[in-house]
Every structure is written in C-alpha cells, then in structure tokens.
Amino acid sequence: MNRPIPWKTAWITGASTGIGRDIARQLAAQGVKVAASARSAEKLAELGSDILAVPLDVTDSAACKAAVELIEAVIGPIDLAVFGAGTYSPVAVDDLQPDVFAGMMGTNYMGVVNCLSALAPRMLARKSGQISWIASVAGYVGLPKAAAYGPTKAALINLGESLYPEMKAGGVRLSVINPGFVETPLTAQNDFPMPFLMKPEEAARRSIEGLAAGRFEIAYPRRFVAILKAARALPYPLFFRLIARTVLKSG
C-alpha cells in the first residue's frame, strides 16, 4: 500500500473466493476489523478466526439487514463495504435460458441493491463511510457469451453513477470496481483466451489502493480498460466488425 488504510472496520461480501476473499485477507492483515459474507460457511471459516464470518445469501433482503445489524453490533460501525458477491455463466446464442438471466440479475445486481439498502441509511445518518461494489469491464460493452453477465455489470456501473452525487452530498463515498479478467473459479468456465489475466491477490491489492485513494472508478488492468473504452466509442459497424474479427474468432 502506498497510502495509509483509512478504515477501522470493513464488510466484504462474496468473500469465499476470488477478489472478495483476497480483499478480506489483505485488509485483515493490515489491522482492519473485517466481517466476511458468502453463502458457504465452510469457506468463510477458512479465512481464519481474525475475520468475522457472517454467512449470507445476498438475494435475501431481510437477511442482508440482519447481517448489517449483527456486524455493527460485534465489530462496530462499518467504515467500508465491498459488495463482491456474484455469479457468471457463459451464454450460447442458441440456448438462451431465462432462469440463467434472472438468476444472474438477482445475485449480481439485486444482491448489491439489497446490501446497499441495508447499509446506506446507517452511513448517511453518520455522514461517513465508503461503499463500493465489484462490477466489471464487461459492463462497458456488449460481448459474446456475456449476454446474461454483462448487463448486470452495466447496471451496477449505472447504479453507481446515479447514486454518487447524492451519496457524496450525504458524506458517504461511493466507488465502483471494474476488473478485467481475474483468475477465479468463475472465469475458469471460459473456453477462450483471456487477455491480461490477473491473479486475485493482485486485483485485490489494486482495488484496496483505489478505494484508499477515494476514486469513484477503480478499473484495471489499464491497457485492457483503455482498449474496451475505445471500442465503446466506435460506430457500431466498426465495433461489430472488431468483435467478429477478435472475440468470435478467438472463441
């Protein structure tokens, strides 16, 4: 870390694997009181006794409120929240299953909304705190095989943009984390080359540094982010031609 850790307590969801797991571990190693949530109590227990395990299904709004009440009663007011619970399944154009789309929106998007609804009023009442969630660079543009996943991440980016001004006015910082490809059990499902693939511990480090800096958007790796943002600015005929020549060809 190039700057001091500004939080005393943190709540991380999606902490059983991937980026969320490493964020929880790295924050705890730096002296932050961490509460970690995921559906698997067994995987949370593996994080160690210095992290408060709070098993949670983020699709249950009442359970999210109960989790916040428990965490703040045990470790104190939450200074930082990182909502990282998510799921991913590649979608084939000839096999569009509505339940896959609904399930991904329920976990990836509404899971964040449920946690946000439980925590934001408390932070706003205190006029302090920082809330963030893990979206994705897949939210920048529509990509093949991400027809169910990408829209949930685009919605999370839009949600952050929509809430940021009022949250800031209320004394609460808001950040959206947009990683590229990270080596996790979810991305292991992909059968195509993943450029700039990162280890979860590096993604967690970059996320924490961006959060400590108070940035709204924390996106990495930079070259991949630049490529996708440039692609987003292309006229559609050029964009679809690029996709056909790169993504579809490689898949």
Question: What amino acid positions are annotated as catalytic residues?
Answer: 149
Angle at which helices 110-126 and 61-74 pack, to 10 degrees? 40
Report residue 15 as tokens: 């902490």
For β-strands 80-83 and 9-13, DSSP reports them as parallel
The DSSP H or E segment spanning 11 is strand 9-13
Rounded to whole angstroms, the Cα distance separating 226 from 192 reads 21
Report residue 163 as tokens: 């809430």
Q: Give the count of beta carbons closer than 10 Å to the beta carbon of residue 113.
A: 17
Rounded to whole angstroms, the Cα distance separating 139 from 153 reads 5
Alpha helices in 75-177 (DSSP H): 98-104, 110-126, 149-169
Q: What backbone torsions phi and psi does residue 27 show, to the nearest 5 degrees?
A: -65, -45
- Using a 10 angstrom Cβ sphere, with 0-12 exposed, 13-18 middle and 19 or more buried, the burial of residue 238 is exposed
Pick the closest to residue 130 from 57, 213, 56 (CA basis).
213
Structure letter (DSSP) for residue 187: G
